[in-house]
Amino acid sequence: MKKELGIFILLVVLCAVTTLENARFLSPENLINMANIIGMFGIFGIGAGLVIVTSGIDLSVGSLIALIGILLIMALTEWHWPWPLAALFVLGVAMVLGWVHGFLITRFHMQPFIVTLCGLLLYRGLARFIAQDTTIGFGDLPGFGTLRSLASGRWLGVPMPFVLLIIVSIIMWFVLHRSVYGRYLLAVGRNEEAARFSGINTRRVIASSYVLAGLLTGISGILLAFYTNSVTPSTHGTFYELYGIAAAVLGGCSLRGGEGSILGILIGTALLQVLQNLVNLLGIPSSLNFAVMGAVVLVGVLADQIFKQRAASRTKSR
Protein backbone atom coordinates (compact mmCIF):
# COMPACT_ATOMS: atom_id res chain seq x y z
CA MET A 1 0.00 0.00 0.00
CA LYS A 2 2.84 2.37 0.89
CA LYS A 3 4.44 1.78 -2.44
CA GLU A 4 1.35 2.77 -4.38
CA LEU A 5 0.97 5.80 -2.16
CA GLY A 6 4.38 7.17 -3.18
CA ILE A 7 3.70 6.99 -6.88
CA PHE A 8 0.14 8.16 -6.39
CA ILE A 9 1.47 11.30 -4.74
CA LEU A 10 3.84 11.76 -7.66
CA LEU A 11 0.89 11.44 -10.03
CA VAL A 12 -1.14 14.01 -8.12
CA VAL A 13 1.79 16.43 -8.03
CA LEU A 14 2.31 16.09 -11.77
CA CYS A 15 -1.39 16.67 -12.43
CA ALA A 16 -1.37 19.73 -10.16
CA VAL A 17 1.71 21.22 -11.78
CA THR A 18 0.31 20.71 -15.26
CA THR A 19 -3.03 22.23 -14.28
CA LEU A 20 -1.35 25.28 -12.82
CA GLU A 21 0.68 25.78 -15.96
CA ASN A 22 -2.12 25.05 -18.38
CA ALA A 23 -5.73 24.86 -17.23
CA ARG A 24 -6.64 22.91 -20.35
CA PHE A 25 -5.35 19.83 -18.55
CA LEU A 26 -8.64 19.57 -16.69
CA SER A 27 -10.83 20.27 -19.70
CA PRO A 28 -13.34 17.51 -20.46
CA GLU A 29 -11.87 16.78 -23.88
CA ASN A 30 -8.39 16.35 -22.47
CA LEU A 31 -9.56 14.17 -19.61
CA ILE A 32 -11.66 11.97 -21.88
CA ASN A 33 -8.83 11.61 -24.31
CA MET A 34 -6.45 10.66 -21.55
CA ALA A 35 -8.88 8.18 -20.03
CA ASN A 36 -9.20 6.57 -23.43
CA ILE A 37 -5.45 6.13 -23.82
CA ILE A 38 -4.92 5.06 -20.22
CA GLY A 39 -7.58 2.39 -20.79
CA MET A 40 -5.83 0.92 -23.80
CA PHE A 41 -2.35 1.04 -22.26
CA GLY A 42 -3.49 -0.12 -18.86
CA ILE A 43 -5.00 -3.38 -20.07
CA PHE A 44 -1.83 -4.68 -21.64
CA GLY A 45 0.16 -3.11 -18.79
CA ILE A 46 -1.59 -5.47 -16.39
CA GLY A 47 -0.60 -8.36 -18.63
CA ALA A 48 3.00 -7.19 -18.64
CA GLY A 49 2.83 -6.90 -14.85
CA LEU A 50 1.57 -10.48 -14.38
CA VAL A 51 4.46 -11.82 -16.40
CA ILE A 52 6.90 -9.69 -14.41
CA VAL A 53 5.43 -11.10 -11.20
CA THR A 54 6.58 -14.56 -12.29
CA SER A 55 10.04 -13.01 -12.79
CA GLY A 56 9.61 -13.12 -16.54
CA ILE A 57 9.27 -10.37 -19.10
CA ASP A 58 7.26 -9.90 -22.29
CA LEU A 59 8.93 -7.84 -24.98
CA SER A 60 6.62 -8.90 -27.79
CA VAL A 61 3.65 -6.71 -26.79
CA GLY A 62 4.08 -3.93 -29.35
CA SER A 63 4.60 -6.25 -32.29
CA LEU A 64 1.74 -8.44 -31.17
CA ILE A 65 -0.50 -5.38 -31.10
CA ALA A 66 0.48 -4.63 -34.70
CA LEU A 67 -0.18 -8.21 -35.75
CA ILE A 68 -3.54 -8.23 -33.97
CA GLY A 69 -4.51 -4.96 -35.64
CA ILE A 70 -3.62 -6.24 -39.09
CA LEU A 71 -5.38 -9.57 -38.60
CA LEU A 72 -8.50 -7.90 -37.23
CA ILE A 73 -8.76 -5.50 -40.15
CA MET A 74 -8.13 -8.29 -42.64
CA ALA A 75 -10.74 -10.51 -41.03
CA LEU A 76 -13.37 -7.80 -41.03
CA THR A 77 -12.72 -6.03 -44.31
CA GLU A 78 -11.11 -8.61 -46.59
CA TRP A 79 -12.47 -11.92 -45.41
CA HIS A 80 -15.78 -10.40 -44.25
CA TRP A 81 -16.01 -12.50 -41.11
CA PRO A 82 -18.74 -11.65 -38.63
CA TRP A 83 -17.25 -9.42 -35.94
CA PRO A 84 -17.61 -11.84 -32.99
CA LEU A 85 -15.66 -14.44 -34.92
CA ALA A 86 -12.99 -11.93 -35.92
CA ALA A 87 -12.61 -10.71 -32.36
CA LEU A 88 -12.40 -14.24 -30.96
CA PHE A 89 -9.94 -15.12 -33.68
CA VAL A 90 -7.48 -12.37 -32.83
CA LEU A 91 -7.81 -12.97 -29.09
CA GLY A 92 -7.17 -16.66 -29.78
CA VAL A 93 -4.08 -15.85 -31.82
CA ALA A 94 -2.76 -13.65 -29.01
CA MET A 95 -3.36 -16.36 -26.42
CA VAL A 96 -1.81 -19.10 -28.51
CA LEU A 97 1.29 -17.00 -29.09
CA GLY A 98 1.44 -16.30 -25.35
CA TRP A 99 1.16 -20.01 -24.71
CA VAL A 100 4.01 -20.68 -27.13
CA HIS A 101 6.17 -18.20 -25.20
CA GLY A 102 5.25 -19.91 -21.95
CA PHE A 103 5.86 -23.35 -23.38
CA LEU A 104 9.32 -22.47 -24.66
CA ILE A 105 10.22 -20.82 -21.38
CA THR A 106 9.02 -23.56 -19.06
CA ARG A 107 9.69 -26.67 -21.13
CA PHE A 108 13.04 -25.75 -22.62
CA HIS A 109 14.16 -23.36 -19.91
CA MET A 110 14.71 -20.60 -22.42
CA GLN A 111 15.05 -17.12 -21.00
CA PRO A 112 11.87 -15.04 -21.25
CA PHE A 113 13.86 -12.09 -22.52
CA ILE A 114 15.13 -14.07 -25.51
CA VAL A 115 11.87 -15.83 -26.31
CA THR A 116 9.82 -12.66 -26.33
CA LEU A 117 12.55 -10.68 -28.08
CA CYS A 118 12.28 -13.18 -30.92
CA GLY A 119 8.53 -12.71 -30.70
CA LEU A 120 9.00 -8.97 -31.05
CA LEU A 121 10.93 -9.45 -34.28
CA LEU A 122 8.77 -12.24 -35.62
CA TYR A 123 5.34 -10.68 -35.17
CA ARG A 124 6.43 -7.32 -36.52
CA GLY A 125 7.77 -9.03 -39.61
CA LEU A 126 4.65 -11.15 -40.00
CA ALA A 127 2.39 -8.14 -39.63
CA ARG A 128 4.27 -6.25 -42.30
CA PHE A 129 4.28 -9.24 -44.60
CA ILE A 130 0.58 -9.99 -44.23
CA ALA A 131 -0.34 -6.37 -44.89
CA GLN A 132 2.24 -6.19 -47.68
CA ASP A 133 3.83 -3.40 -45.70
CA THR A 134 1.03 -0.98 -46.42
CA THR A 135 -1.32 0.82 -44.13
CA ILE A 136 -4.72 -0.82 -44.03
CA GLY A 137 -7.85 0.51 -42.39
CA PHE A 138 -11.39 -0.40 -41.41
CA GLY A 139 -12.84 2.08 -43.92
CA ASP A 140 -16.58 2.57 -43.42
CA LEU A 141 -17.82 -0.88 -44.24
CA PRO A 142 -20.96 -1.82 -42.32
CA GLY A 143 -21.31 -4.96 -40.21
CA PHE A 144 -19.09 -4.40 -37.22
CA GLY A 145 -20.56 -1.27 -35.69
CA THR A 146 -21.15 -3.14 -32.44
CA LEU A 147 -17.50 -4.02 -32.10
CA ARG A 148 -16.52 -0.49 -32.99
CA SER A 149 -18.75 1.00 -30.35
CA LEU A 150 -17.52 -1.60 -27.82
CA ALA A 151 -13.96 -0.61 -28.60
CA SER A 152 -14.14 3.10 -29.12
CA GLY A 153 -17.57 4.23 -28.00
CA ARG A 154 -18.63 5.82 -24.76
CA TRP A 155 -20.57 4.58 -21.80
CA LEU A 156 -22.19 7.34 -19.74
CA GLY A 157 -19.71 9.66 -21.37
CA VAL A 158 -16.72 7.55 -20.33
CA PRO A 159 -14.61 6.08 -23.14
CA MET A 160 -15.11 2.34 -23.46
CA PRO A 161 -11.39 1.46 -23.12
CA PHE A 162 -11.41 3.06 -19.70
CA VAL A 163 -14.56 1.19 -18.72
CA LEU A 164 -12.98 -2.05 -19.90
CA LEU A 165 -9.80 -1.26 -17.99
CA ILE A 166 -11.78 -0.84 -14.78
CA ILE A 167 -13.55 -4.16 -15.35
CA VAL A 168 -10.29 -5.93 -16.19
CA SER A 169 -8.58 -4.35 -13.19
CA ILE A 170 -11.23 -5.48 -10.76
CA ILE A 171 -11.12 -9.01 -12.09
CA MET A 172 -7.35 -9.09 -12.12
CA TRP A 173 -7.16 -7.57 -8.67
CA PHE A 174 -9.11 -10.53 -7.34
CA VAL A 175 -7.04 -12.91 -9.41
CA LEU A 176 -3.67 -11.59 -8.23
CA HIS A 177 -4.43 -10.54 -4.69
CA ARG A 178 -7.14 -12.88 -3.56
CA SER A 179 -7.10 -16.09 -5.55
CA VAL A 180 -5.15 -19.30 -5.14
CA TYR A 181 -3.78 -18.81 -8.63
CA GLY A 182 -2.53 -15.33 -7.75
CA ARG A 183 -0.77 -16.64 -4.68
CA TYR A 184 0.87 -19.28 -6.84
CA LEU A 185 2.02 -16.59 -9.28
CA LEU A 186 3.65 -14.67 -6.45
CA ALA A 187 5.19 -17.78 -4.93
CA VAL A 188 6.57 -18.98 -8.25
CA GLY A 189 8.01 -15.54 -8.92
CA ARG A 190 9.70 -15.41 -5.54
CA ASN A 191 11.05 -18.92 -5.37
CA GLU A 192 10.15 -21.33 -8.11
CA GLU A 193 11.98 -24.20 -6.41
CA ALA A 194 10.15 -23.86 -3.11
CA ALA A 195 6.85 -23.60 -4.98
CA ARG A 196 7.64 -26.81 -6.83
CA PHE A 197 8.49 -28.58 -3.58
CA SER A 198 5.12 -27.44 -2.26
CA GLY A 199 3.37 -29.31 -5.04
CA ILE A 200 2.61 -26.35 -7.28
CA ASN A 201 2.75 -27.07 -10.98
CA THR A 202 5.17 -24.24 -11.59
CA ARG A 203 5.41 -24.77 -15.33
CA ARG A 204 1.70 -24.42 -15.78
CA VAL A 205 1.51 -21.37 -13.55
CA ILE A 206 4.32 -19.59 -15.39
CA ALA A 207 3.07 -20.53 -18.85
CA SER A 208 -0.43 -19.40 -17.98
CA SER A 209 0.82 -15.94 -17.09
CA TYR A 210 1.99 -15.54 -20.68
CA VAL A 211 -1.37 -16.73 -21.95
CA LEU A 212 -3.11 -14.17 -19.77
CA ALA A 213 -0.71 -11.49 -20.93
CA GLY A 214 -1.52 -12.53 -24.51
CA LEU A 215 -5.24 -12.23 -23.89
CA LEU A 216 -4.93 -8.78 -22.32
CA THR A 217 -2.61 -7.62 -25.09
CA GLY A 218 -5.15 -8.95 -27.58
CA ILE A 219 -7.93 -6.87 -26.01
CA SER A 220 -5.72 -3.79 -26.08
CA GLY A 221 -4.80 -4.63 -29.66
CA ILE A 222 -8.45 -4.52 -30.75
CA LEU A 223 -9.02 -1.24 -28.92
CA LEU A 224 -5.90 0.33 -30.39
CA ALA A 225 -6.79 -0.75 -33.92
CA PHE A 226 -10.15 1.02 -33.63
CA TYR A 227 -8.51 3.99 -31.95
CA THR A 228 -6.15 4.59 -34.86
CA ASN A 229 -8.78 3.27 -37.30
CA SER A 230 -6.01 2.14 -39.61
CA VAL A 231 -2.86 0.17 -38.93
CA THR A 232 0.57 0.87 -40.36
CA PRO A 233 2.29 -2.44 -39.69
CA SER A 234 5.79 -1.00 -39.47
CA THR A 235 5.04 1.51 -36.72
CA HIS A 236 1.79 0.48 -35.02
CA GLY A 237 2.46 -0.29 -31.37
CA THR A 238 6.21 0.18 -31.45
CA PHE A 239 7.73 0.51 -27.97
CA TYR A 240 4.42 -0.33 -26.31
CA GLU A 241 6.00 -3.25 -24.43
CA LEU A 242 8.25 -0.71 -22.78
CA TYR A 243 5.27 1.37 -21.66
CA GLY A 244 3.83 -1.75 -20.09
CA ILE A 245 7.05 -2.69 -18.36
CA ALA A 246 7.69 0.87 -17.18
CA ALA A 247 4.18 1.17 -15.79
CA ALA A 248 4.47 -2.15 -13.98
CA VAL A 249 7.85 -1.30 -12.49
CA LEU A 250 6.71 2.17 -11.46
CA GLY A 251 3.71 0.51 -9.89
CA GLY A 252 5.82 -1.69 -7.68
CA CYS A 253 6.45 -4.85 -9.67
CA SER A 254 9.98 -6.06 -9.16
CA LEU A 255 11.79 -7.49 -12.16
CA ARG A 256 13.15 -10.06 -9.73
CA GLY A 257 9.62 -11.37 -9.51
CA GLY A 258 7.18 -12.15 -6.76
CA GLU A 259 6.02 -8.63 -6.25
CA GLY A 260 3.32 -6.65 -7.93
CA SER A 261 0.11 -4.77 -7.51
CA ILE A 262 -2.73 -4.16 -9.92
CA LEU A 263 -3.47 -0.78 -8.39
CA GLY A 264 0.19 0.14 -8.77
CA ILE A 265 0.18 -0.81 -12.45
CA LEU A 266 -2.90 1.37 -12.99
CA ILE A 267 -1.29 4.36 -11.33
CA GLY A 268 1.93 3.70 -13.23
CA THR A 269 0.08 3.65 -16.55
CA ALA A 270 -1.75 6.85 -15.69
CA LEU A 271 1.51 8.49 -14.67
CA LEU A 272 3.16 7.73 -18.00
CA GLN A 273 0.22 9.10 -19.96
CA VAL A 274 -0.02 12.22 -17.81
CA LEU A 275 3.65 12.78 -18.53
CA GLN A 276 3.03 12.66 -22.27
CA ASN A 277 0.13 14.98 -21.88
CA LEU A 278 2.28 17.31 -19.80
CA VAL A 279 4.90 17.45 -22.51
CA ASN A 280 2.22 18.54 -24.98
CA LEU A 281 0.45 21.01 -22.74
CA LEU A 282 3.56 22.67 -21.34
CA GLY A 283 4.98 23.28 -24.79
CA ILE A 284 8.00 21.08 -24.20
CA PRO A 285 9.38 19.99 -27.58
CA SER A 286 7.73 16.68 -28.30
CA SER A 287 11.08 15.30 -29.34
CA LEU A 288 11.87 15.28 -25.61
CA ASN A 289 8.88 13.05 -24.91
CA PHE A 290 10.83 9.86 -24.31
CA ALA A 291 13.56 11.66 -22.42
CA VAL A 292 11.05 13.07 -19.94
CA MET A 293 9.47 9.67 -19.48
CA GLY A 294 12.84 7.98 -19.01
CA ALA A 295 13.94 10.55 -16.47
CA VAL A 296 10.75 10.27 -14.43
CA VAL A 297 10.78 6.47 -14.36
CA LEU A 298 14.43 6.56 -13.33
CA VAL A 299 13.85 9.04 -10.55
CA GLY A 300 10.73 7.25 -9.37
CA VAL A 301 12.37 3.85 -9.13
CA LEU A 302 15.52 5.35 -7.62
CA ALA A 303 13.55 7.15 -4.92
CA ASP A 304 11.71 3.94 -4.15
CA GLN A 305 14.97 2.01 -3.91
CA ILE A 306 16.53 4.54 -1.56
CA PHE A 307 13.41 4.55 0.57
CA LYS A 308 13.46 0.75 0.73
CA GLN A 309 17.15 0.61 1.68
CA ARG A 310 16.54 3.08 4.47
CA ALA A 311 13.66 1.00 5.76
CA ALA A 312 15.71 -2.18 5.54
CA SER A 313 18.66 -0.74 7.42
CA ARG A 314 16.32 0.55 10.09
CA THR A 315 14.71 -2.82 10.74
CA LYS A 316 17.93 -4.78 10.33
CA SER A 317 20.19 -2.75 12.57
CA ARG A 318 21.65 -5.88 14.12
Instruction: From residue 149, give the alpha-carbon distance in Å to each of 43, 132, 223.
Output: 18, 28, 10
Least distance (Å) from another protein to the CB of residue 98?
Answer: 20
Backbone angles phi, psi at 153, to 5 degrees: -85, -165
Helix 2-21 and helix 262-281, axial crossing angle in degrees, nearest 10:
20
In this chain, which of 23, 194, 282, 291 binds another protein, going by CB under 8 A?
A: 194
CB contact at 8 A, 251 and 234: no
By beta-carbon proximity to another protein, the closer residue of 195 and 215 is 195
Alpha-carbon gap, residue 133 to 210, rounded angstroms: 28
Q: Name the nearest CA neighbour of 68 among 46, 42, 40, 49.
A: 40
Least distance (Å) from another protein to the CB of residue 187?
Answer: 5
By beta-carbon proximity to another protein, the closer residue of 141 and 312 is 312
Site string for another protein, 197-216 (x = CB under 8 A): xxxxx---------------
Q: Name the nearest CA neighbour of 233 among 114, 112, 304, 128.
A: 128
The answer to whether residue 169 forms part of the interface with another protein (CB under 8 A) is no
Q: Name the nearest CA neighbour of 264 among 241, 276, 246, 247.
A: 247
The answer to whether residue 179 forms part of the interface with another protein (CB under 8 A) is yes
CB atoms within 10 A of CB 150: 19
- Kindly determine how many residues on this chain lie close enough to bind another protein according to the rule CB under 8 A: 24
By beta-carbon proximity to another protein, the closer residue of 103 and 173 is 173
Q: Name the nearest CA neighbour of 50 among 304, 251, 237, 233.
A: 251
Least distance (Å) from another protein to the CB of residue 260?
Answer: 13
In this chain, which of 79, 174, 239, 307 binds another protein, going by CB under 8 A?
A: 174
CB contact at 8 A, 169 and 47: no
Least distance (Å) from another protein to the CB of residue 169?
Answer: 16
In this chain, which of 29, 78, 140, 193 binds another protein, going by CB under 8 A?
A: 193
In this chain, which of 258, 264, 268, 300 binds another protein, going by CB under 8 A?
A: 258
Least distance (Å) from another protein to the CB of residue 100?
Answer: 23
By beta-carbon proximity to another protein, the closer residue of 287 and 315 is 315
Q: Name the nearest CA neighbour of 67 among 83, 100, 89, 51.
A: 89
DSSP string, 232-267: -TTTTTTTHHHHHHHHHHHTT--TTSS---HHHHHH
By beta-carbon proximity to another protein, the closer residue of 148 and 203 is 203
The answer to whether residue 318 forms part of the interface with another protein (CB under 8 A) is yes
Least distance (Å) from another protein to the CB of residue 177?
Answer: 9
Span of 136-144, 193-201, 208-216, 270-278 interacting with another protein by CB under 8 A: 193-201
Least distance (Å) from another protein to the CB of residue 308?
Answer: 13
3-state secondary structure of 298: helix
Interacting residues with another protein (CB under 8 A)? 174, 178-181, 183-184, 186-187, 190-191, 193-201, 258, 315, 317-318
